Chains A and B, each alone.
Chain A
Amino acid sequence: MIKVEKLTKRFGGFTAVDGIDFEVQKGEIVGFLGPNGAGKSTTMRMLSGFLPPTSGRAEVAGFDVFADSLHAREHIGYMPENVPLYTDMRVSEFLRYRAALKGIPGRRLTERVGDVLELCGLKDVEKKLIGNLSKGYRQRVGLADAMSHEPDLLILDEPTIGLDPNQIRLVRDLIRNLRRHHTILLSTHILPEVEMLCSRVIIINKGRIEALDTPQNLRAHLGQAGYILFDAVVSDARTAASTLRTLESVQSVSHRADGDWTVFTIHAAPGMDPRESLSVSLEQVFAEVTGAEEN
């Protein structure tokens, strides 16, 4: 569905995306993971046809996103970061306009708008002005817009940013339901989100792909590193370390203070995996490959 080859974007002297390659198959949900400024949004903007690449190429549904942009765009539903919407329009009016603009024929408009309103749980606000909606509803209007023309591919830039936990859950459920009909590429810096939603993860940092695998494999990969770094605020680091040592899967534990935080280095016992007991998740993988400091 997506084929990216040596895709590069430079802004003046700054390289935002640096020769990345990846492919996404039909039906996958792929998560783009990376710290702010890693190049996630720039990559998505290139894929959606908003920004032309400096070099390299990208294909969506067999169409080059730059040379054959109009055809490629017909297959893409794109929701930009912060979900820009026309605040002076009513929800159903907006979706009707967008669906028509993106090529849904007139006789199917009412049916299609009704479907996406239903799917995104917008029935009760369809007559409201978008400007008066809460952030959670706006996010859902953005999603409804992205899928309004039945695209094969959905590109969602930070779909859950700025939402409260309940709204996040709703949006995630919605995305999970969409996987049956759409291939999805979404970006986030919330790690559990990727574990929950995605079949594959692309970790990107400073414009380069650092890791590309299933969430499970990325976690397994961490085990081969042999040790785990673990930050915590504890009142008594010595006691905490000796408690950790009592775990069967742990071979040795060392610790050092880092401001208010204590950094534990936990070495696994041979053939054992202490992560289950530590309930370590992808947070550490993320920190490890991006070299970001945890806090």
Chain B
Amino acid sequence: MRKFLILLGREVSSAFHQPLAYVVLFFFLIVTGFNFQAGVTLLNTGAGTVTMVQAFFNTVYFWFPFVLVFPLITMRVFAEEAKMGTIETLMTAPVRDIQVVLAKYAGCLFFYFILWAPSLVYFLVFQEITGVKAAEAVGSYLGAYGMLVLMGLLFTAIGCLASALTDNQIVAAIISFAAILGFFFLGLLSFLLPSTGTFLRELTYYLSPVEHMMDFSQGLFDTRPVVFYISSSLLLLFATYHVFQYRRWKS
């Protein structure tokens, strides 16, 4: 556990040692701020039935930075070590490979959480100023942020796997971006397929992040997406671990 924490500390500090971190933080704040402003505008038009939390988590301005940010967070983690050769000193230190993989994954997740943390303040400010509740119940917050964490688990795992596959950060970013976008659009199919009950409609509904977020941000809890995100994240982490170990065989 101590070694894991040491590795995690290194991951977090190295994330903030690179200029990219601040560029991402800066633009992410701008876009989510704009998203929030768009949500307020929507409420002002008196659309009526949605709360601030729902308005915030279900717009294009939410999804756009959301899917874009994972390749930027994760592309570096394995690819950079492989490129610089530091993977050799890392893998010959007395630490288990699984500790390295988990620490890198947790480091990425930490940065992802940092990105979303300021949004909590938005809702407080909104309630303070307007006197209107940002959500009907606490379940709405729990659902929306819980879903944010769950989706983060999966998409970060996709990014880590992509980074472990190559020693080129750009290639890693393109692979994870393509995979995340492909998955995201597969989920959008559920809106295009009209008939309920067909297999494809059920499948895409089951996989759709947009549908999940719609339900969860209303405070509707469903165990199926929870199981799906956690199990698929574990599967991808397992694959990442094996790809990482495979370096010992090929190099």
Contacts and interface: CB of A to CB of B under 8 A. Distances in A.
Interface of A: 45, 48-52, 70-71, 73-74, 76, 78, 80, 82, 84-89, 97-98, 100-103, 145
B92 A70 contact: no
A73 B94 contact: yes
Contacts, number: 64
27 contacts: A50-B91, A70-B94, A70-B96, A76-B92, A78-B89, A78-B92, A80-B88, A80-B89, A82-B85, A84-B84, A84-B85, A84-B86, A84-B87, A84-B88, A84-B89, A85-B86, A86-B84, A87-B84, A88-B18, A97-B10, A98-B89, A100-B6, A101-B10, A101-B93, A101-B95, A102-B93, A102-B94
Interface of B: 3, 6-7, 9-10, 14, 17-18, 84-89, 91-96, 248-249, 251
A84 B81 CA distance: 9
A50 B3 contact: no
Contacts of B251: 50-51
B244 to A, nearest CB: 13
A270 to B, nearest CB: 52
Contact of A80 (B6, B85, B94, B96): B85
Contacts of B7: 101
B92 A48 contact: yes
A210 B89 CA distance: 29
A101 B248 contact: no
Given A70-B96, A74-B94, A145 B89 contact: yes
Given A88-B14, A97-B6, A100-B6, A73 B93 contact: yes
B248 A52 contact: yes
Which of B87, B94, B249, B251 gathers most chain A CB within 10 Å? B94
Nearest to B16: A88
Contacts of A97: 6, 9-10
Contact of B248 (A50, A78, A82, A86): A50
A57 to B, nearest CB: 16
Contacts of B249: 51-52
B58 to A, nearest CB: 38
Contacts of A88: 14, 17-18
Given A84-B87, A84-B89, A85-B86, 6 more contacts: A49-B92, A50-B91, A52-B248, A88-B14, A97-B9, A101-B7
Contacts of A89: 14, 17
A86 B14 contact: yes
B5 to A, nearest CB: 10
Nearest to A48: B92
B242 to A, nearest CB: 14
A159 B7 CA distance: 27
Contacts of A86: 14, 84, 86
A74 B96 CA distance: 12
Nearest to A49: B92
Contact of A50 (B9, B14, B17, B88): B88
Contacts of B87: 84
A103 B94 CA distance: 8
Contacts of B96: 70
A101 B3 contact: yes
Nearest to A69: B94
Nearest to A85: B86
B122 to A, nearest CB: 32
Contacts of A102: 93-94
B126 to A, nearest CB: 38
Nearest to B247: A50
A181 B95 CA distance: 24
A85 B249 CA distance: 22
A110 to B, nearest CB: 15
A147 B232 CA distance: 41
A97 B8 CA distance: 11
A141 to B, nearest CB: 11
B124 to A, nearest CB: 35
